[in-house]
Amino acid sequence: MQLTTTPTGQRGTGNHATATYWLSHAWLGTHVEPGVTMDVADGRISGVRTGVDAPPPGATVLRGLTLPGLANTHSHAFHRALRSTVQVGSGTFWTWRELMYQVASRLTPETYYDLARAVYAEMASAGITAVGEFHYLHHAPGGVRYNDPNAMGEALIAAADAAGIRITLLDTAYLAAGFGQRPGRYEQPDQHQQRFSDTTAEAWAERASLLKDSDHALIGAAVHSVRAVPAGQLATVAKWAEERQAPLHVHLSEQTAENEACQAAHGCSPTRLLADHGVLGPRTTGVHNTHLSDADIALLGVSATGTCMCPTTERDLADGIGPAVALQRAGSPLSLGSDSHAVIDLFEEARAMELNERLRTHTRGHWTAAALLRAATADGHTALGRPDAGTLEPGALADFTTVALDSVRTAGPVPRLAAEAVVFAASAADVRHTVVAGRHIVRDGHHALVEDVPAALASAIAALHG
């Protein structure tokens, strides 16, 4: 029997109960290990033992492949209400956006809480233990502030707590409708975008500063895009995040039209504009990073700016296939997000990144299953400001998920290839258990806090379409 060192100071008087889990198979970062016992105390893993052939007395048994909890690095919770309705007919990203605005216009803090609670419960059921919520729906229709100026953001934080997952609320600066006709000028927000805008980066920072971290919630920042935050105000958002050592995310080069408009307005690419205004860096994550030049890739790599790929949304919106291989080689860590929630399935996101690259290059094997799992776990959590999550080792947050190895999708492969079976064949429906801070949120496929997740989703979505 091999004993992994238990760090000092992990056991003590905390709000989380001490527990022991026996894992029939565990992913330990490089390989599948059979018969693993994990001790949990105060919300963290306090000890890991391998070579344990049978469950110890009193241990909670998790049969399947137990992984670190998945990190959904990029989410717009209210987009879940668009599923199926935006699949009717044809169009582009820009026509899809008009439908998105219609749903956004109907949300209140109360209905947003109901929807987000159900969406985050769906995520927990899919093995996701932390979400990065790219939040820009700040105000009432017409841009009028609620009595609590962060009522919408607080609704999201409360919803994540009610669903049992962690959230990094990436409070988003969204100040303009796009580049103006004259250099240095930007279009004013339209009637839908008025709900998103604080008018200036300084006013955004003042409001965002009212939000506070908690046990399950971290507060980060986001630049919606270079078309939505005037260049002269980018540094204000970057400084706010720097002062707090908080994550900073940005939609980057998702559409060629954005690149062309930025070139016309500023004579450079969006990546270059962000670099010139201090937005890039190791705490920053560019979302999509789809249409990049070699120079853009080099800028992102040398600055260690992360890349969040959202393949199911990028293909749903016909955005294109981003240069993920080149970005990673340049030094940009990769993470994954479900973005518009065309589906909520991080296994699908992981394999789609690999399979998209196979289609683009006509070659196979750009990432191993281990590399794709790292993007879905450790690197995703780091992008969300939690470098102490995403591994099954002492001292890490006790956030993990177990995937069945006996479903019609995963049965058959030998146990040592369980990671490959999960990454390339499993779906969110194969998740059996999800544990957050040592707390069993999903047990045997049933959510412990939201009694009927499908009914909660149906009710919350119907309220927005009725």
The residues annotated as belonging to the active site are: 288, 339
Rounded to whole angstroms, the Cα distance separating 254 from 252 reads 6
Closest CA to 142 of 202, 193, 177: 193
- Give the containing element (helix H, strand E) for 422: helix 418-425
Is residue 320 within 8 Å of residue 287, measured between CB atoms? no
Rounded to whole angstroms, the Cα distance separating 128 from 319 reads 25
Q: Tokens 């776990």 correspond to what residue?
A: 377
Polymer length in residues for the chain? 466
Write out the two tokens for 232.
Answer: 């002269």
Q: How far is CA 448 from CA 21, 163, 164, in A?
A: 18, 9, 9
Q: How far is CA 203 from CA 173, 193, 329, in A?
A: 10, 16, 38
Rounded to whole angstroms, the Cα distance separating 280 from 263 reads 18
Closest CA to 76 of 139, 120, 108, 106: 120
Q: Tokens 């992360």 correspond to what residue?
A: 306
Q: How far is CA 218 from CA 159, 167, 286, 397, in A?
A: 14, 6, 19, 14
Closest CA to 401 of 221, 185, 205, 165: 165
Is residue 11 within 8 Å of residue 42, measured between CB atoms? yes
